[in-house]
C-alpha cells in the first residue's frame, strides 16, 4: 500500500509548477462529439464505461459514475459545478481548486482550455492528492434537453501515463428538477492499472460528491 500511495502521489503531482493560463488544445478528431449525452445513464456493470467527447470509447479501461435527481433547475446545477471557487464550501472530495491568474470569478470566467489543479481528499487514507485538469468544453444547452460541462486529466506527459475525461450531464426533467450524471472514463496508459486499484475509493468519492452537490444546490434554492 505504501508503494501504491507513493506512486499515485507521484502521478497526480506531475506538472505541479505554477498553472498555465491555457493548455494546448487536443486537435485530434473528437470521436464522442455527436453523442446524445442526455440519453446516457450509469452502466449496470460496475466496470462498464461511457463515451467521452474528447476520447470516445477506444482504449477505455474502466469508469466511475454517479447519477441522481436534484430538485433545482439545470442552470442552477450547471452553474454550481462550474463555480470552482466555491467547491471548498460544499465538496468534501475536491476540497480545493487552484485556478490560473486570469480567472477572477467562476463560473463567469471559465473557458475551454482553462487549466486547474484539483486537491482531492480521501483516496489514500488521510492524504491529499492533486491532479491537473483542463476544461474540454461546456454548453448550457440552449434549445436542448440537456447541458454539458467536461474536463479532462492532464498527466503532464501527453497522456502516456493516463488519460481520463469527466463529463457532467444536466438533463432537464421538465418539472424544475435535474437528472445529474457525473462520470469519468479512464483510458489505457502506463499508470491506469495503478489508478484502477483505487476504483472503489473513487466510486465512493463520486457518490459522496454527488450528494454534496445535491444538498448544496437544493439549500441555495430554498434560500432564494
Would you state the pLDDT for residue 10? 44
Query: How is residue 190 annotated by DSSP?
Result: T
Instruction: Read off the pTM.
Output: 0.89
- The DSSP call for residue 126 is T
Nearest by Cα to 160 from 56, 52, 3, 11: 11
Segment holding 79, helix H or strand E: helix 74-82
Q: Which contiguous run of DSSP H or E holds residue 211?
A: helix 199-223
3-state SS class at 186: strand
Query: What confidence score (pLDDT) does residue 23 get?
Result: 64
Q: What is the pLDDT of residues 30-89, one digit of tens each?
A: 666 689 999 999 999 999 999 999 999 999 999 999 999 999 999 999 999 999 999 999
Please name which of 207, 213, 147 lies closest in space to residue 183, comparing C-alpha atoms: 207
Give the number of other Cβ atoms within 10 Å of residue 168's Cβ. 21
Three-state SS at 117: strand
Cell numbers given for 217: 444546490
End-to-end CA distance of the chain: 47
How high is the pLDDT of residue 6?
38
Name the pairing type of β-strands 94-98 and 115-124.
antiparallel
Instruction: For residue 182, give Cα distances in angstroms to 19, 78, 119.
Output: 25, 11, 18
Which tens digit of pLDDT belongs to each residue from 145-196? 899 999 999 999 999 999 999 999 999 999 999 999 999 999 999 999 999 9
Mean predicted confidence (pLDDT) in 201-207: 97
3-state secondary structure of 141: coil
Element (H, E) at 68: strand 60-70
Residue 142 or 201, more confident: 201
Distance CA 212, CA 195 (A): 24
Which grid cell is 109?
470566467
pLDDT band at 125 (very low <50, low <70, confident <90, very high): confident
Q: In percent, how much of the chain has pLDDT > 70?
A: 85
Distance separating alpha carbons of residues 87 and 123, to the nearest angstrom: 17
Average pLDDT over the chain reads 89
Supply the pLDDT for residue 142: 62
Q: CB of 95 within 8 A of CB of 121?
A: yes
- State residue 22's pLDDT score: 62
Q: What is the pLDDT of residue 2?
A: 31
pLDDT given for residue 3 in this prediction: 32
Amino acid at each position: 500500500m505504501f508503494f501504491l500511495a507513493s506512486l499515485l502521489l507521484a502521478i497526480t503531482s506531475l506538472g505541479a509548477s505554477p498553472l498555465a493560463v491555457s493548455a494546448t488544445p487536443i486537435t485530434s478528431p473528437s470521436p464522442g462529439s455527436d453523442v446524445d449525452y442526455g440519453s446516457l445513464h450509469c452502466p449496470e456493470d460496475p466496470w462498464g464505461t461511457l463515451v467521452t467527447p474528447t476520447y470516445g470509447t477506444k482504449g477505455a479501461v474502466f469508469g466511475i459514475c454517479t447519477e441522481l435527481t436534484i430538485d433545482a433547475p439545470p442552470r442552477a446545477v450547471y452553474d454550481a459545478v462550474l463555480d470552482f471557487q466555491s467547491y471548498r464550501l460544499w465538496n468534501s472530495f475536491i476540497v480545493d481548486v487552484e485556478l490560473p491568474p486570469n480567472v477572477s470569478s467562476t463560473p463567469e470566467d471559465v473557458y475551454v482550455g482553462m487549466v486547474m489543479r484539483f486537491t482531492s481528499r480521501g483516496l489514500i487514507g488521510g492524504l491529499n492528492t492533486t491532479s491537473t485538469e483542463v476544461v474540454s468544453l461546456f454548453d448550457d444547452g440552449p434549445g436542448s434537453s440537456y447541458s454539458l460541462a467536461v474536463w479532462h486529466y492532464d498527466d503532464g506527459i501527453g497522456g502516456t501515463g493516463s488519460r481520463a475525461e469527466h463529463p457532467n450531464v444536466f438533463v432537464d426533467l421538465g418539472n424544475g428538477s435535474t437528472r445529474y450524471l457525473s462520470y469519468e472514463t479512464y483510458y489505457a496508459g502506463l499508470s491506469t492499472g495503478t489508478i484502477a486499484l483505487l476504483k472503489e475509493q473513487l466510486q465512493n468519492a463520486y457518490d459522496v460528491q454527488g450528494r454534496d452537490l445535491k444538498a448544496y444546490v437544493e439549500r441555495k434554492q430554498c434560500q432564494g
